[in-house]
Amino acid sequence: MTLSPAIIWDAASEPPAHAGAVYRWNGYDEAHSMYSVLRYVEAHGDRLRQKYIGFIHELGEAQIKNRRLVEHLGIGNGLSLWWMSLLAEMSAFKSPRILDCLRLLALEEMLLERRPADVILASADKRLAEAIRFLCKSLGIRFKWQVEKKVRQTSVLRALYARCPSTLQALIYLARYLLTRWPLRKSAMPDWFQGNNVVFFFSYFFHLKPEQARVGAFHSRQWEGLPKFLHSYGVQTNFVHHFVYSPDIPNLQSARSWVEQFNKHPEQQGAHALLDMFLTGGVVYRAFSHWLRLIWGTPDARQVRSHFIPKGSRASLWPLLREDWHASFYGATAMMNLLWVELFNAAMKSLPHQKLGLYLCENQGWERAFINAWRTHGHGTLIAVPHATVRFWHLSYCNDPRTLTSRQAGAIPLPDKVAVNGKMAWDAYADSGYPIDQLVQVEALRFQYLNDDTRRSRQLRSRLPGANRSIQGQSRRVLILGDFTVAQTFKMLACIEAAVSFMGSSMAYTLKPHPVCKVTAADFPALRLELTDQPLAELVEEFDVAFASNTTSAGLDAYLSGLPVIIFLDGNDLNFSPLRGNSSVQFVSTAHEFARALTMTAHSSDSPVIEDFFWLDPGMPRWRRLLTEAGVPC
């Protein structure tokens, strides 16, 4: 046992000099007797990831009053709201506390290894203090909380909303939803196609080509050439879209206008509707009734909190996941999910029989409602299509194998097949325990442009050492590939801005924001930013290096196009990059690291092997095989 107290440092400043061990809650830096909890999580990722995923499975199966939790949350038609909850969804973007859960499990192992007699936590985080206090008590370690000053990171209005009871948050969400979406109920529905030569699509209403959409031409960058491929064989397409606000489509009026334009020529553009067009008084009434029953019927905190201790652990995750629990079964998330359940039921009921359905798969909660409604209303084969990449820390793509094979009441709704777009995604699914017989190979729609060998060889030739000015230390053209959140994009730009102060301003910076993230050049005047919304395939030849967000797949696009890539790794987060573990890519967290990486980065004559990532073929034989086996002639 170590005599000196251990310090757990969760503060904005650097940890103090200390004789005992210091555990950094944030950041990856380590030194003598100072250990990074995040670095430990990354180093032991396989074990800790599986431990958390197993915990979520066992929580759903927990027996409460002689019934499984999954069954307590049943809402009809065999669907359990458990599968739509923030807990079961396991998205670190929607549930930031998942990262704290992983760190807590890592901290338990680190404390068991060194066994300090005392622990001092320096943090402003009340929930974290509660969780670590419980852990220390379970381990027989004395605990002291050194309360740090809390830095407000949200607006006053958001802070007030967060203080509201979960039930009030649900009512506020419902009111806002009806205020914005209610007018869509009057929208005209298209004449849906029916018969054997029809494919149904469900995905998001963004990532469209706005210049084409404004003149009535539908092109989705999520599905790329697949709809036209189907049309060329005489196959018609039906689309239902989930509307998401984005800079290109800032309001529902624009979205409805575009849909109306598409529906003027359904044989060429497909038949289209927004999911919210199925909104009715009956949909709202049924969702609200389910919510009232949830409030009275969901097991309360006293009944469930003991089940938040993972098997083989003495840490309780309840203090960290309490808010997700309340949001999922009493709050705004519950109301949103129940509206989705009813909207999908209304949509799937109104459609003529659809022989084959494809949907954009990110394993989000709404997908469970969609799958359930598709089955309830007797439609045909349903294929999930992950259109981008499957990353290690995207836990939403991972389920415990026991979850995937369960045949008990309220089992997780699953598609018939998952259309996997390359070796990287196939390996990720297989390693997570997904049944191999439910995976099918297809070409990567979004990355088909990489199959253009002429363009690719030209790009790679232009990047050989000596072939451009950047290697000689002259002005370099930097393409910034932004995150889907404004906060993370601002962190990236702030990192560059700080680097400019000691690196000079000889660089030329161009930002390509994520489609749902609005950023202006005026936000960072020192960078003299240019902004672009051009497709990445048309951009890479103009730049010498790409600086990409940790979470975007665009960094992989740039890498496979032959462009040197630097990834921004937030010191407060895990490595969500699809290039995690790739030695050809540099990961940076600070301005100095960025400046060093930028001066060291050189173009390589080695071409990345695309086949290690994606399956590409302009003739799309894998897609043709899948469609033909589903009874769609191609």
At 485, the pLDDT band (50, 70, 90 cuts) reads: confident
- CA distance linking residue 25 with residue 9, whole number of Å: 6
Is residue 500 included in any domain, yes or no? yes
| Chain centroid to CA 220 | 19
Is residue 431 included in any domain, yes or no? yes
Question: Using one digit for the tens of pLDDT, what is the confidence trace for 434-456?
Answer: 999 999 999 999 888 887 653 45
Question: Using one digit for the tens of pLDDT, what is the confidence trace for 613-629?
Answer: 999 999 999 999 999 99
Q: What is the DSSP string of 552-620?
A: -THHHHHHHTT--EEEE--TTS----TTTT-TTSEEE-SHHHHHHHHHH----SPPP-GGGT----TT-
For the chain, the domain total comes to 2
Is residue 227 included in any domain, yes or no? yes
At 24, the pLDDT band (50, 70, 90 cuts) reads: very high
CATH no. for residue 588? 3.40.50.2000
Average pLDDT, the chain: 90
Question: Using one digit for the tens of pLDDT, what is the confidence trace for 134-178?
Answer: 999 999 999 999 999 877 667 788 889 889 999 999 999 999 999
Do 504 and 393 fall within a single domain?
no
Is residue 391 included in any domain, yes or no? yes
At 457, the pLDDT band (50, 70, 90 cuts) reads: very low
* CB-count burial class (<10 Å; 0-12, 13-18, 19+) for 160: exposed
Do 415 and 471 fall within a single domain?
no
Share of the chain above pLDDT 90, in %: 67
Among residues 98, 102, 94, 89, the alpha carbon closest in space to that of 399 is found at: 89
Q: Which pLDDT belongs to residue 372? A: 98
- Top mean pLDDT of 148-152, 371-375, 592-596 is at 371-375
Is residue 130 included in any domain, yes or no? no
Do 573 and 549 fall within a single domain?
yes
Determine contact, residues 516/246, Cβ cutoff 8 Å: yes
- CA distance linking residue 249 with residue 204, whole number of Å: 12
Do 432 and 465 fall within a single domain?
no
Give me the mean pLDDT over the 395-420 stretch.
94
Q: What sign has the CA pseudo-torsion 112, 117, 122, 126?
A: positive
Do 440 and 463 fall within a single domain?
no
Do 293 and 231 fall within a single domain?
yes
Is residue 305 included in any domain, yes or no? yes
Is residue 142 included in any domain, yes or no? no
- Asked whether the predicted pLDDT for residue 536 surpasses 90, the reply is no
Do 469 and 490 fall within a single domain?
yes
Do 571 and 437 fall within a single domain?
no
Determine contact, residues 441/554, Cβ cutoff 8 Å: no
pTM of the model: 0.91
* CB neighbour list of residue 493: distance below 8 Å, 6 or more residues apart: 480, 511, 519, 523, 524, 527, 529
Do 607 and 623 fall within a single domain?
no
Q: Which structural domain, as residue segments, surrounds residue 280? A: 68-90+154-444+618-634
Stretch among 122-131, 242-251, 437-446 having the lowest mean pLDDT:
242-251
Give me the mean pLDDT over the 513-528 stretch.
82
Do 519 and 413 fall within a single domain?
no
At 535, the pLDDT band (50, 70, 90 cuts) reads: confident
- Asked whether the predicted pLDDT for residue 570 surpasses 90, the reply is no
- CA distance linking residue 320 with residue 113, whole number of Å: 23
Among residues 515, 445, 455, 452, the alpha carbon closest in space to that of 483 is found at: 515
> Is the model more confident about 175 or about 249?
175
DSSP state of 264: T
Is residue 275 included in any domain, yes or no? yes
- Asked whether the predicted pLDDT for residue 574 surpasses 70, the reply is yes
Do 391 and 507 fall within a single domain?
no
Do 200 and 317 fall within a single domain?
yes
Q: Which pLDDT belongs to residue 26? A: 93
